[in-house]
Amino acid sequence: MIMSETRENSIPGEERMGLKFGPILLMPDIERRHLFTLFFGAFFGIASMAFVNVIGPLMFRILEIPQEETGALAGTLTAVQEIVVILVIGTFGALSDKVGRRLIYSSGFFLLGIGYFLYPLATDSTELIIFRIVVALGAAANTVMLPTVAHDYVHESTRGKLIATTSILNGLGLVLIIGTFRNMPGFFSDMGYDNVFSGRYTAWIASVMCLIVASILFTNLKKGAPAQVSKKEPYLATLKVAFESARNPRVALAYVAGVVSRGDLSVVSTFFSLWLFNEASTQGLSPGAAFKLSTGFYITVQAFAIPGAILINFFIDRVDRVMALAIAMFIAAGGYLYLGYIEDPINAPTVIGFSIFNTQLALTQMHLGAAWLGLGEIFANISAISLIGSAAPVKGRGAVIGGFSFFGAIGILLVALIGGYLFDSVGPTAPFTLVGFANVSLMILALFLLFFERRKKHS
């Protein structure tokens, strides 16, 4: 059996241990079904939240939004969602301390389900923004509850292993679930439904999925509120400590890395699928076919992020964290800037051609760009988190990491709003070029910091 009973720790001052699942030790009051339900929620978590951006281009087409306005609308929707998340995520966390994790966690998926039911019913961009707020509320609850429940369930000695497991399940769920949905609009079109109902039914299936997940979480997660709740500092007081800590150059650099790395994630989720969907539509593909193509490349990006999380471990702990950040930013910058050189992503030239079982396969510039993007995206994110984790002082660590999250939110808002303008006014790859230069700038800052630190040390 993978899961077994372990003896309670008899050493004074240490946490007692409960069940064991492989290398993961659980807290004494956590049952098998509690852990498996957490894994279940992790598998559906990121995919359920990412779906709103994936289906966005299809909704714009149904509403007949002019292509030259889609970038600004996509950026506005992302910005609105991020503002809502910033405003309520602390409230959801505090509320879960009082009413219990399972109610808030399941409510997150419930709100996502309601949001996806309403989303395709929008008749104009204003209603789309209003319905996006419902999705944002669900995303906020989902975002805060996964790490919180994981923290409650696992023993301190194996916390990293459980977080790594849930992260892998996040990635697998995103690839497999979105991979399933990419075929649905075309499937409904082949059945004779028009574009409106093809998109509507696709969104409603996502709605049903979220509601099912919500019911499973509610009935199988551990009941009750946590036994001990520490008093939290007011948000403004936390930010004050975070800003004061920026006197440390490494903390300041980590805050800039938060802006850039979260901006990296934002530009991919907001504009990548939209760019490809618009290009495919311009070349005459049906909405279902355009959705399948754009979503396929989006899946490629996320699929390469999974091994990227493994590859970065080969150097991130072997070099200085600032040097690791510089290396990651160099790789990420290449991926974002490379997209600007692809003139026709739909009919991009073949880079590598090969045959498997008499089947000819071709990897185009677009496949290479998507793979590079996935690696760069995850490298930038992990290296930034790693730097703030090492730079944050023991006293005030929570405030500093909170400050990192605050600057990350700023990065999302900046990329969403500025990127939306560039997408419409300059070109669809302009937001990626913007982020690429931001990565280059951060790489230079990191190298300068290393140079001055070593110069100061030798002097």
The domain limits of the chain are 14-227, 233-459
Is the domain defined by 233-459 classed in CATH 1.20.1250.20?
Answer: yes
Q: Is 47 helix (H, G, I), strand (E, B) or coil?
A: helix
3-state secondary structure 379-436: HHHHHHHHHHHHHCCCCCHHHHHHHHHHHHHHHHHHHHHHHHHHHHHCCCCHHHHHHH
232: how many CB neighbours lie within 10 A of its CB?
13
The residues, ordered by sequence, that sit 6+ positions from 228 with a Cβ below 8 Å of its Cβ are none
233-459 and 14-227 share a CATH fold? yes
Residue of 174, 208, 201 lying closest to 185 (CA atoms): 201
Question: 359: which DSSP letter?
Answer: E
The span from the CA of 129 to the CA of 55, in Å, is: 14
Scan for tokens 């598998």, then name that residue: 43
The span from the CA of 175 to the CA of 156, in Å, is: 30
Task: Residue count of the chain, please give it.
Answer: 459
Alpha carbon 173 to its chain's center: 12
Is the domain defined by 14-227 classed in CATH 1.20.1250.20?
Answer: yes
pTM for the whole structure: 0.86
For residue 12, count CB atoms less than 10 angstroms from its CB and return exposed for 0-12, middle for 13-18, buried for 19 or more.
exposed
pLDDT by position in tens, the chain (length 459): 344 444 444 434 445 666 777 677 777 787 888 889 999 999 999 999 999 999 999 999 999 999 999 999 999 999 999 999 888 887 888 788 888 888 999 999 999 999 999 999 999 999 999 999 999 999 999 988 888 888 777 777 666 677 778 878 888 999 999 999 999 999 999 898 898 999 999 999 999 999 999 999 999 988 876 654 455 556 566 667 777 877 888 889 999 999 999 898 899 999 999 999 999 999 989 888 999 999 999 999 988 888 887 788 777 778 888 998 999 999 999 999 998 888 888 887 777 766 666 666 678 888 899 999 999 888 888 888 888 877 877 676 667 777 888 888 899 999 999 999 999 999 999 999 999 999 999 999 999 999 988 888 877
The span from the CA of 199 to the CA of 375, in Å, is: 31
Q: Is 355 helix (H, G, I), strand (E, B) or coil?
A: strand
Scan for tokens 């999302």, then name that residue: 412
Give whole-number Cα distances, 160 to 23, 154, 155, 164, 248, in Å.
Answer: 11, 9, 10, 6, 27
